[in-house]
């Protein structure tokens, strides 16, 4: 099975959190971003962080910091492209992306996406969460595996105004990897968008849920 580098997408505006870098907010005795790193780093062959603006506001992480190559905060696809460009220049065939605000990532996340993509010959594999208590399935497009062969097409589409991840991804060989959730409070793709989400995440951490 091919190994992949991970790209943490930390280039958003965090508008629902009031602005700033929400990944740098504390969750327990670590920042949210540090918890994301703890979850994803053991699963990937290398790690980089996509950010925007002044790099000095971030701690001295031992990882490359990748700015968007498309100006104007155009969304997570710009972070995917930055990751693809970095991976291509380092001879990787693909990348794994996760957002910087999701500290409860599954420990088998990368393995399952990689196995699925290889078996189904997908260019893109995205996570989906199946809530077994309600039957609802939710797509999580920022949690994905992406072939770097798509980088120039993505660059052109971004320059032409494409912003929706799934809208662009559906033009290629896309597949979804389903993760079953037996208890909604244990959703591994829970992301911290608002102050209340941060409170909920702290409660989850305090209760020993991962």
- pLDDT tens digits along 154-206: 999 999 999 999 999 999 999 999 999 987 678 899 999 899 999 999 999 88
pLDDT (0 to 100) of residue 184: 65
In a domain, 17, yes or no: yes
Return the structure tokens found at 14: 């965090």
In a domain, 119, yes or no: yes
In a domain, 140, yes or no: yes
Structural domains counted in the chain: 1
Confidence of residue 69 (pLDDT cuts 50, 70, 90): confident
The answer to whether 120 and 172 are in contact (CB under 8 A) is no
Residue 206 to residues 68, 147, 203: CA-CA distances in angstroms? 35, 38, 5
Q: How many Å apart are CA 163 and CA 151, to the nearest integer?
A: 15
Could you list the beta-strand ranges (E) of 32-123.
47-51, 65-67, 94-99
pLDDT (0 to 100) of residue 118: 96
Which of 22-31, 54-63, 73-82, 115-124 has the weakest average pLDDT?
54-63
- Dihedral (C-alpha) 42, 47, 51, 54: value to the nearest 10 degrees? 110
The answer to whether 121 and 170 are in contact (CB under 8 A) is no
- CATH at 191: 3.90.550.10
In a domain, 1, yes or no: no
In a domain, 152, yes or no: yes
Q: What is the DSSP string of 180-205?
A: EESSGGG-TT----SHHHHHHHHHHH
Q: What is the pLDDT of residues 88-139, one digit of tens each?
A: 999 999 999 999 999 999 999 999 999 999 999 999 999 999 998 888 999 9
Is the predicted pLDDT of residue 22 greater than 90, yes or no? no
The answer to whether 107 and 43 are in contact (CB under 8 A) is yes
Domain assignment of residue 56, given as a range: 6-206
pTM (2 decimals)? 0.92
pLDDT (0 to 100) of residue 199: 93
């Amino acid at each position: 099975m091919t190994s992949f580098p991970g790209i943490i997408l930390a280039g958003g505006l965090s508008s629902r959190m009031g602005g700033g870098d929400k990944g740098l907010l504390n969750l327990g005795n670590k920042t949210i971003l540090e918890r994301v790193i703890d979850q994803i780093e053991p699963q990937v062959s290398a790690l980089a962080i996509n950010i925007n603006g002044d790099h000095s506001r971030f701690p001295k992480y031992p990882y490359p910091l990748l700015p968007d190559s498309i100006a104007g905060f155009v969304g997570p696809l710009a972070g995917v492209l930055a990751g693809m460009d970095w991976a291509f220049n380092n001879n990787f065939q693909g990348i794994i992306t996760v957002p910087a605000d999701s500290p409860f990532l599954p420990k088998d996340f990368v393995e399952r996406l990689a196995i699925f993509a290889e078996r189904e010959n997908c260019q893109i594999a995205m996570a989906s969460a199946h809530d077994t208590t309600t039957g609802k399935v939710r797509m999580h497009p920022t949690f994905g595996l992406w072939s770097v062969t798509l980088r120039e097409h993505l660059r052109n589409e971004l320059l032409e105004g494409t912003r929706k991840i799934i809208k662009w991804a559906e033009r290629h060989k896309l597949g979804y990897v389903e993760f079953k959730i037996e208890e909604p409070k244990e959703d591994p793709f829970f992301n911290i968008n608002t102050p209340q989400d941060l409170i909920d995440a702290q409660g989850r951490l305090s209760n020993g849920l991962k």
